[in-house]
Amino acid sequence: MVLLATTSAVRNTTRKNRKKQLRMASPTSVLSTDMKRSGLDLKNEGNAHFMKRRFTDALSCYSEGIAVVTQADEDLEAILYSNRSGCYYEMGNYGK
């Protein structure tokens, strides 16, 4: 009986350790969340510049955001490209 209880306790401890290791071993989910946040921050900063008609500053924020955002976040990437094209339009640079 004692041996059975000990085996069960070891099994539960092993499961807890596996879950902990999986949480620690998945930096990609943490990384993509941080990257997304950075992309959103850059988009918001670019929007603030755009509203103040500082199109060059907004353009650099949107371009940096495009470089930071992962391909998994297509919506944010599309918004950044769209905002960047708005900057080119306002600057009279229709060829970009």
**pLDDT at residue 36 above 70?**
no
pTM attached to this predicted model: 0.61
pLDDT at 58 over 90: yes
When pLDDT is averaged across residues 60-77 and rounded to a whole number, the result is 90
What is the percentage of the chain residues whose pLDDT exceeds 90? 49
Q: Which residue has the higher pLDDT, 53 or 14?
A: 53
pLDDT of 9: 53
Give the amino acid at 43. Answer: K
Span 44-62, average pLDDT = 96
Query: Can you list the domains of the chain with their CATH numbers?
Result: 2-90 (1.20.58)
φ/ψ region of 73 (left if φ > 0, alpha if ψ in -120 to 50, else beta) reads beta
CA distance 59 to 43: 10
